[in-house]
Structure 1
Amino acid sequence: MTNTTPFPRPVRHHSLFKRAALTACLLTIAPLSMAATLRIDNGAEPGTLDPQKTSGVWETRIVRELFETLVSQDATGELVAGLASRWDLSDDGLTWTFELRDDAQWSDGEPITAGDAVFSLRRLLRPETTAHNANLYYPIENARAINAGEAAPETLGARALDDHHLEIQLERPTAWFLQAIAMPEAAPLPEHVLREQDERWVIPGRTVVSGAFTLSEWSPQDHITLEKNPQFYAADDVALDEAIFYPLEEASAALNRFRTGALDISYTSVPGGRFEQLRRELGETLRVNPMVAEYFYMFNLRPESPLSDIRVREALNLATRREVITDQLLGMGQTPSYWLVPRVTAGGAEGALPTAQMAMDERMARARELMQAAGFGPNNPLTLTLRYNTLEDHKKIAVALAAMWKPLGVDVALINTEAASHYAAIREGDFQLARYGMVATIDDPYDFLGSYTTGGSSALSSGYHNADYDRLVEQSSETIDPSARAELLTRAQQHLLDDYALLPLYDYVNTALVSERVHGWAPTPMDVHPLRYISLEE
């Protein structure tokens, strides 16, 4: 959600009634089916369905359906009431108070309480949880210290006033905090279950959930089945009986299944080389829209890595022909990127690689000079390993980059693994160059820039550290005035780019195949499509 005020306005009852009416209209427009199964190609096999331990969009799509958040999102991506029926923000922007709905209950019939929300936030910030987006919750009092292992979880600025009222105390006003509360990792968790079993608690048929669907079946590398949750507070408005997710990583296989009617929705990327043909053949079932997401290559910057040399990183960036990748290899409207924060992101962050405006001949000459100064060239090649996860277009891009860098005396060895193994290797720092796709959790530059601050997920994976950069990102988070904040965000991003800390390639567009019989699926910049608003026409 784009905020136009210094911090989100408290939601009042009349606003909720209007949004509820809009949702009701969406549901009544769509023809409902008495028995409906939605079949989805989800792109990859989840490594986990614990909402606080996921990191991939293919995991989050499922987790969103299992665990309802205090603040939810409607079919258009707008924030609406979830487990909380209303919320208020103090005049100083530091204290949020959430009122939980009376009819909120877990799938085992136990009531959902403010204590569950407190338990969840404390667990989220525990260092042993290793939550991917823990830094988004640092505005909460003592959150950073808890996540660093320097304070007890019980000191977190979150407390249950009673079973139905949660209070969260912030250290500073934060424009995007309500968006963070709407993320799956912040969903209340069943304390009465997890205090007995905190490791293997996400089990088909036994997982206690709060969302519109329950976990019915999980057959690894084959499918995951969700069934409608009769205990969900809005179960009467959920049209689907079940949803089956398939972990298809090959675009051609997903496309073939979609064409035969075996899939209703496919999220595996449409093959770039066939995009125009498929747009003609598939018509409106091929959905394309801008997305708050960035495709880039992560550098391992640790001292033992050859990419710790800024001259090598700059040279690789200089020799990369981004327009060839976006216009010739892919051709789906992606924007060639010389930055980390996608240009469609709210918040006004600018900045670009220092060499972005150079002509290609000038760039290649400069790149050769840099590589020679670093001790490498055609007669003394630099061998690099490049990791990418299984997908046809990822392979095409990796092969193209290797060819672009060959004139510099760079020999690239490609390593292809399925998504779970790929991202596990990145988290462990087991790479030199690694393909990375960052899909926004919140529509704010902090989501991207914060990941490269000390302790952020990208910083931990890559080994990046810049104290001045950390300071600017921190100041931007504390700044209320939108124009002043945009200036700080721009300065921060420029620091990151001046360090050549990554190799950006393009701003994503979202491509999805959506059957004509699917109703209630709407394109959104954050690529969120709650199944509770979807129905099928038989």
Structure 2
Amino acid sequence: MAAFWTDRRRLLAGVGGLTAAASLGACANGKITGFDREKRSLDICNQGEPLSLDPHKASGQWENNIIGNMFVGLTTENAKAEPIPGMAERWETSEDGRTWTFYLRRAQWSDGEACDAHDFEFAIKRILDPANLAEYAAILYPIKNAEAVNQGHMAPDTVGVTALDDLTLEIKLEHPAPYLPELLMHYTAYPVPKHIVEAHGDDWVHPENIAVNGAFTLIKWWSNYIVHLERNPHFFDAANVVMNDLYFYPSNDVNASARRVMSGEAGWSTRFPSNQVETLRRDLPGYVRVAPYLTCNYFSFNVTKPPFNDVRVRQALAMAYDRDWVAANIYRTGEQAAYKFVPPGISNYPNTARYPWADQSIEQRREEAVRLLRAAGYGPDNPLRFEYSHRNTSDNPRVAVVVQNNWREIAPWVTVELRGVETQVHYANLRAKNFDVGDGGWIADYNDAKNYLYLFETRTGPQNYPGYSNPEYDRLVHESDFEADATRRGEMMARAEQIALTDAVICMSVFINSTNLVHPDLTGYEDNLNDYHRARWFGIKND
């Protein structure tokens, strides 16, 4: 024990320090409170503070980490994030692929009321009702009339979702969507308890009102401090759930998260400081988990206003950013420099789209950037000034400094101001177009290129952060929905991606890996492309 804690104190100093008294106190207690075997509880450092735990109001991975333990959709994910039956025990698809019939299991909400097909019908119509201002509703546009309803052109009752009886739900689609089982794992497709929502309105999600159908129910939510979930005895698979309590802490500072794991105050951190990976591997054997991840980091240009309504300005900045240096020196966990938008690992998709200048050296690109900016009218007599907004989490502040230096190095008349913002506020600004250039990341909701490319369709609305609109791009993405041949469909989407890259609607940064610190005695945690880890699958080693 003594030698182990000596190693811990050395690492704590490396990731920002922790007092020796705190370390020795944790050792003297004789147990790791962040992963308590006796109480079967787990404390989790979980990036940002949730803005909402309503599946129709959420939009961040840190919210998904909590909500995904509280609710189960028609389909759900196994430990490897593969789609498996959830509330639906089985389903059938019509010959044309546009009608899906789901046969539900008998199940209950956590208050003992039946959870059935009527709750799913109610939920999907609720999220698509424009009165509810659900910013993530566009992901459900494959459903018949979903877009027209969400845009206010049709009544919510016309959405193609019908409870045929208590245990049978029919979903009609605008076009074939073979990825539907994966899409329905997403929290936008979770049911909500009709009887409670109708009684309490938006307050239904408060701990004193809420009912859930998943493995854990909400007990307490103290804003900016803790979200406490407790095992739900009414969950249909409750007999196989090992953990009793989950405690989620908003943890924007990855160094602080690592310290909490080191001190025994947390058994899992959903991110760690990537520049400390070798130290963490040495001194926390078995904790470090690095895995491929269907996600990308990029910077959105606000094309709705000058100077970024000029494609030359966007192209110049995208060229001048040294993403290879960032991948190698800021991230230390195997990240790839990104010269395209859709990440590796997407099914049935060719890797043909790239920035046109991707094979040029950084020196050549910076020379061309100067020429483009001068052609756009910028120079000593008309300096280019703008603000770069970034999340204050993980490695993003360190990346921001590199971004600022790269763009300042283009010419002395380029001025870039940095603005670090709390994560949830930052994304709200992106959706409201309240930014010049803003960093961000996109994590796949389902394994299909459409889940990335829909972001830049004109119709997508708030989640089209740049405010991009290109008729040819829109046409290709839309028509790909109706192409039955998977190869041709992929080629159509790749042509659309190429248009967006040539237009430099975003500046791609890196394809990042998932980085977690996980107590080695926690079983059932599986690395996967989505970085989804539901606690219903967790167990305790040698329990």
- Return the TM-score normalized by structure 2: 0.90
Equivalent in the alignment of 1:65: 69
Structure 2 counterpart of 1:515, from 506, 509, 519? 519
Equivalent in the alignment of 1:481: 485
| Contact persistence 1:452–1:458 (CA under 8 A) | no
Q: Matched residue of 1:456: which SS?
A: helix
| Contact persistence 2:136–2:463 (CA under 8 A) | no
| Contact persistence 2:393–2:423 (CA under 8 A) | no
| Contact persistence 1:338–1:356 (CA under 8 A) | yes
| Contact persistence 1:32–1:535 (CA under 8 A) | no
Equivalent in the alignment of 2:397: 395
Deviations 1:115-153 (A, max 9, x none): 111111101211233334322222211111001110001
Q: CA deviation at 1:311?
A: 0.7
Q: CA deviation at 1:443?
A: 1.0
Query: Structure 1 residues 205 and 38, CA, compared in 2 at 3 Å: closer, same or farther?
Result: farther
Query: Structure 1 residues 488 and 425, CA, compared in 2 at 3 Å: closer, same or farther?
Result: same
Q: CA deviation at 1:221?
A: 1.0
Equivalent in the alignment of 1:339: 340
- Whole-angstrom distance in 2 between the partners of 1:267 and 1:340: 24
| Contact persistence 2:431–2:463 (CA under 8 A) | no
- Identity between Structure 1 and Structure 2 (%): 35
Q: Matched residue of 1:461: which SS?
A: coil
- Whole-angstrom distance in 2 between the partners of 1:456 and 1:473: 12
Q: CA deviation at 1:34?
A: 6.2
| Contact persistence 2:323–2:338 (CA under 8 A) | yes
| Contact persistence 2:431–2:465 (CA under 8 A) | yes
- Whole-angstrom distance in 2 between the partners of 1:343 and 1:56: 22
Deviations 1:220-261 (A, max 9, x none): 111110000111111111001010001011111111110111
| Contact persistence 2:102–2:168 (CA under 8 A) | yes
- Whole-angstrom distance in 1 between the partners of 2:522 and 2:76: 22
Equivalent in the alignment of 1:404: 406
Unpaired stretches in structure 2, ≥5 consecutive residues:
1-34
| Contact persistence 1:33–1:535 (CA under 8 A) | no
- Whole-angstrom distance in 2 between the partners of 1:453 and 1:347: 21
Correspondences of 1:27-426 after superposition (within 5 Å): 35-102=39-106, 104-268=107-271, 270-302=272-304, 304-350=305-351, 351-377=353-379, 380-408=382-410, 409-426=413-430
Deviations 1:175-219 (A, max 9, x none): 211211111110111111112222121112421111111100111
Query: What's the RMSD between the two structures over aligned residues?
Result: 1.7
Q: Matched residue of 1:218: which SS?
A: strand
Q: CA deviation at 1:114?
A: 0.9
- Whole-angstrom distance in 1 between the partners of 2:390 and 2:400: 7
- Whole-angstrom distance in 1 between the partners of 2:444 and 2:355: 21
Q: CA deviation at 1:389?
A: 1.3
- Whole-angstrom distance in 2 between the partners of 1:202 and 1:313: 42
- Whole-angstrom distance in 2 between the partners of 1:254 and 1:157: 44
| Contact persistence 2:135–2:462 (CA under 8 A) | no
Unpaired stretches in structure 1, ≥5 consecutive residues:
1-30
| Contact persistence 2:47–2:393 (CA under 8 A) | no
Equivalent in the alignment of 2:502: 498
Corresponding letter in the other structure for 1:442: Y
Instruction: Single out whichever of 380-389 and 127-136 deviates more from structure 2.
Output: 127-136
Deviations 1:253-294 (A, max 9, x none): 1111101111111013x2233223323333331000110001
| Contact persistence 2:162–2:169 (CA under 8 A) | yes
- Whole-angstrom distance in 1 between the partners of 2:93 and 2:532: 26
Corresponding letter in the other structure for 2:279: Q
- Whole-angstrom distance in 1 between the partners of 2:293 and 2:261: 23
Q: CA deviation at 1:32?
A: 11
- Whole-angstrom distance in 1 between the partners of 2:93 and 2:323: 44
Query: Structure 1 residues 382 and 124, CA, compared in 2 at 3 Å: closer, same or farther?
Result: same
Deviations 1:504-525 (A, max 9, x none): 0011100000011211000010
Q: CA deviation at 1:359?
A: 1.9
| Contact persistence 1:215–1:227 (CA under 8 A) | yes
| Contact persistence 2:203–2:209 (CA under 8 A) | no
Query: Structure 1 residues 338 and 76, CA, compared in 2 at 3 Å: closer, same or farther?
Result: same
Query: Structure 1 residues 392 and 210, CA, compared in 2 at 3 Å: closer, same or farther?
Result: closer
- Whole-angstrom distance in 2 between the partners of 1:459 and 1:50: 18
- Whole-angstrom distance in 1 between the partners of 2:394 and 2:60: 18
| Contact persistence 1:46–1:420 (CA under 8 A) | yes
| Contact persistence 1:34–1:239 (CA under 8 A) | no
Instruction: Single out whichever of 475-484 and 363-372 deviates more from structure 2.
Output: 475-484
Q: CA deviation at 1:380?
A: 3.7
- Whole-angstrom distance in 2 between the partners of 1:282 and 1:164: 48
Corresponding letter in the other structure for 1:73: E
Equivalent in the alignment of 1:15: none
| Contact persistence 1:292–1:440 (CA under 8 A) | yes
Query: Structure 1 residues 366 and 454, CA, compared in 2 at 3 Å: closer, same or farther?
Result: same
Instruction: Single out whichever of 122-131 and 330-339 deviates more from structure 2.
Output: 122-131
Q: Matched residue of 2:169: which SS?
A: strand
| Contact persistence 2:466–2:506 (CA under 8 A) | no
Deviations 1:460-509 (A, max 9, x none): 43211011101111122221211111111110100111111000001110
Q: Matched residue of 1:99: which SS?
A: strand
- Whole-angstrom distance in 2 between the partners of 1:331 and 1:127: 43
Query: Structure 1 residues 392 and 186, CA, compared in 2 at 3 Å: closer, same or farther?
Result: closer
